């Protein structure tokens, strides 16, 4: 009745941002599909231990016992697993992030993917990748993609209950690096769930974001199929700047970039002007992630580390999907 799983984080090249109406069922269905890269660094290790005696769930995250909204979100997720397993046991969840929690380095992706895998195995369930992805999605949209390694496609789906809304691996003959440039510290100001909800409700750019999204996904898939890094990089930048434009045009507006972010983006443009293939993406936080060829990663990392205000640079390669570290026989 105890299982441990590890999941790496993933970064969307073509972003998910906004939800489709699920009639209040809490299915967490995305308004658009997405395409991501699972990284070989940053992730979450989670142990779920079931108890016959506990009257409620417990959560320890990075050595600190959590209550309030963090525990409630995990408990609500465990309810889904309890429902599938048809068992009412409560759990002790112990989680360790090697990515700064809620700093816009997509910790919810690895967190809910590792929790989905550890919790199902602790309850004696062995889900296939598709059903694990569907379950993880209900914790966090991006978590559905961390089930798989490398490039991953997340389907928007059409079905009312989300049974066609899952991720699948997208094998590609393209090797890349993602240089993660930390442009701020501490928790992000506006979480992704509330940010995308507010942009969806109030930003006149949101409908344009949705209307133009399918073409970005098609273009990114075509670029991957052709192993065309410049094309992939160009589409990736277009997707991220459109996503961020919805926040600038929201009412009231909000935005994730800091002055350090803007300096890092300028450095990426300078690299390109110097004929180094480098393209930027940003999520719901200040950090910049720079896509480049493996042979350019050192040069890109050095250039980004020299940007004033940047306090850390990591070079990530494509990484594996989620895995079980310990489970009941």
Site residues, ligand PMV (CB under 6 A): 12, 15-17, 34, 106, 108-109, 140-142, 192-193, 283-284
Closest distance of CB 10 from ligand PMV, Å: 7
Closest distance of CB 95 from ligand PMV, Å: 16
Task: Yes or no: say if 233 and 55 are a contact pair by the CB < 8 Å rule.
Answer: no
Contacts of 212 (CB under 8 A, 6+ apart): 242
Closest distance of CB 139 from ligand PMV, Å: 8
Whichever of 229 and 282 has its CB closer to ligand PMV, that residue is: 282
Closest distance of CB 179 from ligand PMV, Å: 17
The Cβ-side half-sphere exposure at 148, using a 13 Å CA radius, reads 22
Whichever of 18 and 296 has its CB closer to ligand PMV, that residue is: 18
CB crowding 219-230: b at 16 or more within 10 Å, else e = bbbebbeeeebe
Task: Yes or no: say if 249 and 205 are a contact pair by the CB < 8 Å rule.
Answer: yes
Hunting for tokens 């079931």 — which residue is that? 50
Whichever of 89 and 319 has its CB closer to ligand PMV, that residue is: 319
Task: Yes or no: say if 212 and 191 are a contact pair by the CB < 8 Å rule.
Answer: no
Spatial separation of the C-alpha atoms in residues 81 and 166, rounded to whole Å = 17
Closest distance of CB 44 from ligand PMV, Å: 13
Whichever of 191 and 320 has its CB closer to ligand PMV, that residue is: 191
Whichever of 133 and 140 has its CB closer to ligand PMV, that residue is: 140
Give the distance, in angstroms, between the CA of residue 230 and the centroid of all CA atoms in the same chain: 23
Whichever of 141 and 257 has its CB closer to ligand PMV, that residue is: 141
Closest distance of CB 299 from ligand PMV, Å: 27
Spatial separation of the C-alpha atoms in residues 74 and 65, rounded to whole Å = 13
Whichever of 12 and 27 has its CB closer to ligand PMV, that residue is: 12
Hunting for tokens 């690096």 — which residue is that? 177
Spatial separation of the C-alpha atoms in residues 66 and 91, rounded to whole Å = 14
Closest distance of CB 275 from ligand PMV, Å: 30
**Paired residues of 44 in beta bridges:** 7, 97
């Amino acid at each position: 009745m105890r299982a441990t799983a590890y999941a790496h984080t993933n970064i969307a090249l073509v972003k998910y941002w906004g939800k489709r109406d699920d009639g209040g069922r809490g299915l967490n269905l995305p308004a658009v599909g997405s395409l991501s890269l699972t990284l070989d660094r940053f992730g979450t290790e989670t142990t779920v231990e079931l108890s016959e005696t506990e009257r409620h769930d417990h959560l320890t995250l990075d050595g600190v016992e959590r209550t309030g909204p963090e525990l409630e979100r995990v408990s609500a997720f465990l309810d889904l697993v309890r429902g599938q397993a048809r068992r009412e046991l409560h759990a002790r969840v112990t989680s360790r992030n090697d990515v700064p929690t809620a700093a816009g380095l997509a910790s919810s992706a690895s967190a809910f993917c590792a929790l989905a895998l550890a919790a199902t195995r602790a309850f004696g369930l062995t889900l296939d990748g598709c059903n694990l992805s569907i379950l993880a999605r209900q914790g966090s949209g991006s978590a559905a993609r961390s089930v798989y390694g490398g490039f991953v496609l997340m389907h928007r789906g059409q079905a009312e209950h989300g049974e066609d809304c899952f991720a699948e691996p997208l094998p590609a003959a393209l090797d890349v690096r993602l240089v993660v440039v930390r442009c701020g510290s501490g928790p992000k100001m506006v979480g992704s769930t509330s940010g995308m909800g507010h942009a969806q409700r109030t930003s006149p750019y949101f409908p344009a974001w949705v209307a133009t999204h399918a073409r970005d996904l098609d273009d990114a898939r075509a670029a991957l199929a052709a192993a065309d890094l410049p094309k992939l990089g160009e589409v990736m930048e277009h997707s991220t700047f459109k996503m961020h434009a919805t926040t600038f045009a929201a009412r009231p507006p909000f935005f994730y970039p800091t002055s350090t972010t803007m300096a890092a983006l300028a450095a990426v443009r300078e690299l390109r002007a110097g004929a180094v293939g480098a393209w930027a993406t940003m999520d719901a936080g200040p950090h910049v992630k720079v896509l480049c060829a493996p042979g350019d990663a050192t040069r890109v990392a050095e250039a980004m580390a020299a940007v004033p205000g940047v306090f850390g640079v990591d070079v990530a390669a494509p990484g594996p999907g989620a895995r079980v570290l310990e489970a009941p026989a």
